[in-house]
Amino acid sequence: MKKIIMTPNPYRDKDFQTVRQAARILAEAGMEVRLCLPFEVDRSYDLPKDLCFSRLDKELSDADLIICFGGDGTILHMSKTATRAGIPILGVNIGTMGFMAELESTELEQLRRLANGDYTVDKRMMLDVTVFRDRDILFHDICLNDVVITKGAVARIVHLAVECDGVEAMESGGDGVIVATPTGSTAYSLSAGGPIVEPEAHSILVTPICAHDVGSRCMVASDRRVISVKLTRNARRNAYLSVDGGKSVRLNMGDVTIIKKSNLETNLLRLKDRSFYDVVNQKFRDSR
């Protein structure tokens, strides 16, 4: 590792204290550090005058690693950019759960191991999401956690039909449906009653949200399957699609959302030798 980009969440890391400490440790280990904001900061927020921020797009070409400081949301936000650039991510948790983060803010000394190549890379499956309106592509993206199709803010039921390789698999009336990767199994899908799935599993999870039909249950499909979701004929209103918690897209009757395994994978860098179940036990215990 030679050049490392650090992307702090300024709303999580007060006065960038964690980032400052990490930058010092990395510099002492002989690594070049660049500081880039992962998203646009509100104009009313005053960035420290003593820190130099670079543009992320200019630093990606020769970077070896991106370190994200924040919660899982910060990692999810950076996962697409990092994956498309072929750069691994290491997460430092300054949030609440932090399932995808490798280090807590109290474990920054572990970063010294990067200089000696003392790490492993964990490959995470992503989903490819395309929304078709007639024959036109309305929306296309990739995601690391999940695709969520919901009724929106209005208190009503949305009726969705889910097909697997063109065969009807589920028709659900309720708040919506979550289509998740194994990585996303511990996020919204879990809250909606879905199972915990190992990140290395080759599967796609379909979890109804507050289903009105008691027969609607979570479905675990092979990652070779193509999932399609559309509003059924008795759906009188619109639905909304969101990928990894991003900005929602309005869906009309007739729109078809096609979800399948992406050809891209997110590479999460690991410094500690621990089981996925150790992480699950720790995170749920600490959240009590």
The structure tokens 């920054």 sit at 108
Decide: pTM greater than 0.85: yes
The structure tokens 């909304």 sit at 240
For residue 110, give the nearest of 37, 30, 32, 29 by alpha carbon: 29
- The predicted pLDDT at position 13 comes to 81
- For residue 174, what are the CA distances in angstroms to 20, 180, 252? 46, 18, 17
- The predicted pLDDT at position 96 comes to 72
- The predicted pLDDT at position 234 comes to 65
- The predicted pLDDT at position 24 comes to 96
Cite the active site residues: 72
Task: Give me the amino acid identity at 275.
Answer: S
Residue ranges of alpha helices (H) inside 6-149 are 17-28, 56-59, 72-85
For residue 12, give the nearest of 109, 96, 97 by alpha carbon: 96
CA distance 59 to 157: 46
Residue 27 above 80 pLDDT?
Answer: yes
CA distance 231 to 161: 6
Q: Tokens at residue 71, please?
A: 């919660």
- The predicted pLDDT at position 226 comes to 98
